[in-house]
Structure 1
Amino acid sequence: MRIAVLDDDNNLLELVCTILNAAGHTTHPFLSGKEMLHQLRRESYDMLILDWQVPDLSGTEILHWVREKLSPTLPVLFMTSRSGEDDIVAGLAAGADDYMIKPIRRSEMVARVQALLRRAYPTQAASEHLQFGIYKFETRAGRVSVNEVPVEMTQKEFDLALLLFRNLGRPLSRAYILEAVWSRDVDIPSRTMDTHISRVRSKLELRPENGYRLAPVYSYGYRLEQMTPE
């Protein structure tokens, strides 16, 4: 999962990122609240971890913006050095899903993050069979079928299609898709992603009459939309 982490203490920021990277996530560290907000306007993340007390822009201010502008189900964990009940209640009331009191403990951090991610993304669980209308994914075998008819796809095409269906209705930035499907091979030509998007749209016949539409999001990325019957 792609997790953005905000803390103005560089040592703590590095610790949190090291813990989560070791747990298999990809972290994006921010020392400045304004810098994080700038990126939130341009990029998509699976989860946010916010230090409550950042000098230039507080975790509270960022959280208010996130809840107003982004998905209401985006999980947010806040970290605070203040253990007073009023502070914690205020953080949760502002829209945070959970909190941790510093100093950070490795096992607790991983457990809380995993619990929030499982709740926010239930279809990301390691199920071998996922059904979305006429589309059926066999995740372990890397196979997909439409109306029970198998569709020939490369591994990257399958990974891309599965990513889109698992994030139905959610705009995904180009950087997010690149990281999720091509891992750290960031040197691939920019047209490669667009070519794969086109192939997935064509092979899976992603059009309104089949219940789904794969649409570009201008200057951002792509979104797979589920169409409602008229």
Structure 2
Amino acid sequence: MTNTGLRVASLENDSAQAAMIRAIVNGAGHECVTFTDGRRMLLTLRKVTFDLLLLDWDVPQVSGLEVLHWVRTHLDPRVPVMFVARRQAEADIVAALAAGADDYMVKPIRPVELSARIQALLRRVYPDTRQRYDDRLTWGRYAFDIVTHHATRDGAVVPLTPKEFELALLMFRHANRVVPREHMVTAVWGREFSPMSRTIDTHISRVRNKLGLWDENGVRVVPVYTYGYRLELLDDGSARDAAAQVAPAGAGRKKRHPKVPFPEQQIE
């Protein structure tokens, strides 16, 4: 992954189209992970966090629209989704947008236009995109120096071990979004143990206590049972400015969508 990019997941079963999308995303400075069928994408989305989803409609196993329904029902509603599909009927485009898609591009793919749409969507949804991978990141009362691996609260250095620093930084970079346990293992420990290991909970507890991640400091760590953790930036006092940095447009959006027509246990 580039040191300035975001993580993009692409659902596309045509190898040539997938390669083109990947080249466009990489060329814009972002990482692109390609999925050739909807079921495989859903399996991964339960474990790994992405910053943008690009969906084709007509793909094997589970369609792009069904993936969108699942995403809007189960994941953070602020995760942006763009369709890149051949379907061009007005009814299909309206159906995708009504289901929660943020943009819709009709194929054939026009590289310059797709790149511009992706960048515009990311800027709108993640106004803090530029600072996500800068050397020094700041959220309200908290700051992280990527070079020295120093974390501070109100300007005072908080001693953290290397793993605690990486875990805290991961949580702040994904503030207000659930970070799956498996993604924590991959990003911080490199899959050295099971995602259900108590090591994660122990480190979360240490980070919370050392940094003072409590309501009075404008932040809160919320466990999501068996799935992961969410670091919430509270809308009060010193947290207000920080929340504005990471809360994408449409953060309050709540939609009701039909359930994907297959049992959830099939994608576990």
TM-score, normalising length: structure 2: 0.68
What per-residue deviation string (whole Å, max 9, x for no partner) do you get for residues 92-114 of structure 1? 22211112222223333322222
1:58 CA drift (Å): 1.9
Check 1:181–1:122 CA distance in 2 against 1; reply closer, same or farther (3 A cut): farther
Check 1:111–1:228 CA distance in 2 against 1; reply closer, same or farther (3 A cut): closer
* CA distance in structure 1 between the aligned counterparts of 2:177 and 2:183, rounded to whole angstroms: 12
Decide whether the 8 Å contact of 1:130 with 1:139 is kept in 2: no
Aligned pairs for 1:143-182 within 5 A:
143-153=150-160, 157-177=164-184
CA RMSD of aligned residues (A): 3.2
Decide whether the 8 Å contact of 2:143 with 2:152 is kept in 1: yes
* CA distance in structure 2 between the aligned counterparts of 1:96 and 1:158, rounded to whole angstroms: 35
| Cross-structure match for 2:138 | 130
Aligned equivalent of 1:110, options 106, 115, 124: 115
Give 3-state SS (helix, strand or coil) of 2:50's partner. Answer: coil
1:49 CA drift (Å): 0.8
State the number of aligned residues.
Answer: 225
Give 3-state SS (helix, strand or coil) of 2:96's partner. Answer: helix
Check 1:18–1:178 CA distance in 2 against 1; reply closer, same or farther (3 A cut): farther
Question: Structure 1: which 5+ residue stretches go unaligned?
Answer: none
Aligned equivalent of 2:97, options 92, 100, 114: 92
Q: Is 1:79 the counterpart of 2:84 in the alignment? A: yes
Check 1:37–1:189 CA distance in 2 against 1; reply closer, same or farther (3 A cut): closer
Check 1:75–1:155 CA distance in 2 against 1; reply closer, same or farther (3 A cut): same
1:157 CA drift (Å): 4.5
Larger RCO (alpha carbons 8 Å, 6+ apart)? 2
| Cross-structure match for 2:220 | 213
TM-score, normalising length: structure 1: 0.77
- Counterpart of 2:56, as a letter, is D
1:33 CA drift (Å): 1.4
| Cross-structure match for 1:37 | 42
Decide whether the 8 Å contact of 2:46 with 2:180 is kept in 1: no
- Counterpart of 1:162, as a letter, is L
Question: Structure 2: which 5+ residue stretches go unaligned?
Answer: 1-5, 237-268
1:164 CA drift (Å): 1.5
Check 1:41–1:209 CA distance in 2 against 1; reply closer, same or farther (3 A cut): same
